[in-house]
Structure 1
């Protein structure tokens, strides 16, 4: 069965780290770009893809010439976007973390919508070594889609800025993968 390597990299630290940055198009700090460059140095990839949001796109552009794909954007946090978690109603935030499909952020995106768009992006990947520079949410959604992880296991993934998840992806419908490494 044919397989390929897929590397998913979280963008470097944004200018306003620590906020719920979904569709908010914040920039990345220079050391965040440098961290992504260091992580990508030994990755052998034929294809480079990036979210269209600046904090991911600028990191990818430092690595090479990416194909920009908005399906790799972060989850839309709606009314919570750009806010610190301490500024969000704790009960509402707790319901979201427990069940992000039933309790999405107000005017935000459901977990299932994120999984659907990331699933479409995964299905469109050619079977070639690929690096995708994206965000924590899409990395978790891709891992859930490819590895069959449940929500608790998906949320348990610690994905600091510039982290790289590497997966061996097997062709088929649907595609399946094995997590081969996580570098933080």
Structure 2
């Protein structure tokens, strides 16, 4: 069984970086789009998917034009919905509430926001629906962590240790069958 490659590319920098942006459709910078296109330049894929948020969709469009692929937009690859924290910097959030969220994002989601389990479930559904062909997904840091949770079994505390800055490319090899699994084959920042 040879498996297939799944490359997860975090969108480039938005015009207003450093804010909680889940459902917020933040505008990407030209430099952020260009950084994503450079990261994807050496990645040979047959399918291109992106979150439907413009910071991902615009980068996917640029990548698709360079590689002769038409991106498919899929809302399951969106970031966690941060509820009332949307558009705020971490420093503007009450420290105890933010600490509870980082400690257990399922038990203590942002007020009015999405639970970690919901994000993990929709990303898992998106992964499980993939046909076995080399794929690049332009997505968000939270969705990338949810993919690692689903494919590699990392728990949320372990996932926060992964540094996934804007434009980070995470590559995995996926195996399906009697003993499905995944292996991290690269992280390029």
- Identify the TM-score tier after normalising by the shorter chain: over 0.9
Partner of 1:142: 147
What value does the CA root-mean-square deviation take over the aligned residues?
Answer: 1.0
The answer on whether the counterparts of 1:50 and 1:57 sit within 8 Å (CA) in structure 2 is yes
Residue 123 (1) aligns with residue 128 (2):
yes
Q: Which runs of 5+ in 2 are unaligned?
A: 65-69
Paired residue for 1:44?
44
Tell me if the contact between 1:164 and 1:182 (Cα under 8 Å) persists in the aligned partners. yes
1:10 matched residue in structure 2: 10
Deviations 1:149-174 (A, max 9, x none): 12221111100001000000001378
- TM-score, scaled relative to structure 2: 0.95
| Offset of residue 175 of structure 1 | 4.1
- 2:86 and 2:5 map into 1 onto residues whose CA distance is 32
In 1, Cα distance between equivalents of 2:165 and 2:5: 21
Counterpart contact for 1:11–1:162, Cα < 8 Å? yes
Q: Could you say which residue in structure 1 is the equivalent of 2:24?
A: 24
**Range moving further from structure 2, 170-179 or 103-112:** 170-179
- The 1-side partners of 2:140 and 2:40 are apart by 15
| SS of match in other structure, 1:156 | coil
| Whole-angstrom CA distance in 2 between matches of 1:42 and 1:58 | 19
Query: May I ask how many residue pairs the two structures share in their alignment?
Result: 184
Runs of 4+ with deviation above 6 angstroms: none
Q: Give me the whole-angstrom Cα distance separating, in 2, the residues matched to 1:105 and 1:6.
A: 30
How many Å separate the matches in 2 of 1:108 and 1:12?
Answer: 24
Cα distance in 2, alignment partners of residues 142 and 160 from structure 1: 16
Question: Which position in structure 2 is the counterpart of 1:102?
Answer: 107
Match of 1:169 in 2: 174
